[in-house]
Amino acid sequence: MTRIAFLDVDGTILEHGSVIAPSTVTAIRQARENGHLVWLCTGRSAGDIHPDVLAIGFDGAITNGGAYATREDDTLAAHPMPRADVELLERYFDAHGIHYFLQTHGGVFASPGMGPVMSEYRRARHAERAAELEAQGLPAEQPLWREPRPVAEVDRDAVAKAVFVSPSIDTVAHAAAELGSGFHVIPGSIPLPGGSNGEIGQAGVTKGSAILEVLEVLGIDRMDAIGIGDSWNDVEMFEVVGTPVAMGNAVLALQQLAGRVTTAVLDDGVHNAFRELGLI
């Protein structure tokens, strides 16, 4: 029986940075050789997926948290935000001193203050993680492979979602209340030392909604679908697939929601899940 697995990227395939467990690569390729389908299912823009991830080989990709789904040259789903919603988001961010990225299908665009914030985060994280990775025999994290472009260059008719970093600890709740029911606001997965970060997309546009669109095109029952992830943007994926799996590095609430938990991202999490589920 052919099954389909949807895999988150950051914290599932890729350790936040640029490190991939070798067993993850082996497991994905072996599952595909065994006749199963493996799709990316990420909050990232298609143009912002690390080349080392793409080099593994996949049958398709859901990107921008569900706003797009593509298979080779075919677009199976495309749900960019209305321009008025993008402009409303930017007014909200500017009014509250919040740094942000706007994502399109092709790339990522940063507000003026976002660069210094993320540079400092990457510097501190690199120093913190170097010894740990060396002890595990894994390569050091690499510099950011592609710098975002300035937000002034973005096509506001093509924006799929926003990612924000705020000095306030309660911006996720505040944004959800102030922006209203037309937006889907969730906590982000950037492990910053303070403040808060999150993702904002259109209400109803999630990884889960995109998975259902993909399954309909492919003619696969959702009970034959597996979803593996570690972040809050994976909740709707867990809700629609027959077999949800949380990574061992996911917070406890997400592990409980999934019900099935594998090991952590650099502790053979994907490989162990695939083996337990009979894909390899």
Q: Which 3-state string (H, E, C) describes 6-61?
A: EECCECCCEECCCEECHHHHHHHHHHHHCCCEEEEECCCCHHHCCHHHHCCCCCEE
Higher pLDDT, 17 or 59: 59
pLDDT at residue 177 tops 80? yes
Give the dihedral of Cα atoms 227, 238, 63, 54; nearest 10 deg.
-20
Domains and CATH numbers, the chain: 4-78+205-276 (3.40.50.1000), 83-202 (3.30.1240.10)
Task: Note the pLDDT tens digit of each residue in 91-129.
Answer: 999 999 999 999 999 999 999 988 777 666 666 565 566
Cβ atoms of 192 and 163 closer than 8 Å: no
Residue 73 CB partners (closer than 8 Å, separation 6+): none
Least Cα distance to 67 among 86, 44, 90, 99 occurs for: 44
Rounded average pLDDT over 178-200: 88
Which residue has better confidence, 67 or 15? 67
The burial of 193, by beta-carbon neighbours within 10 Å (0-12 exposed, 13-18 middle, 19 or more buried), is given as: exposed
What is the band of 1 on the pLDDT scale with cuts at 50, 70, 90? confident
- Which residue is listed with tokens 């570690």? 230
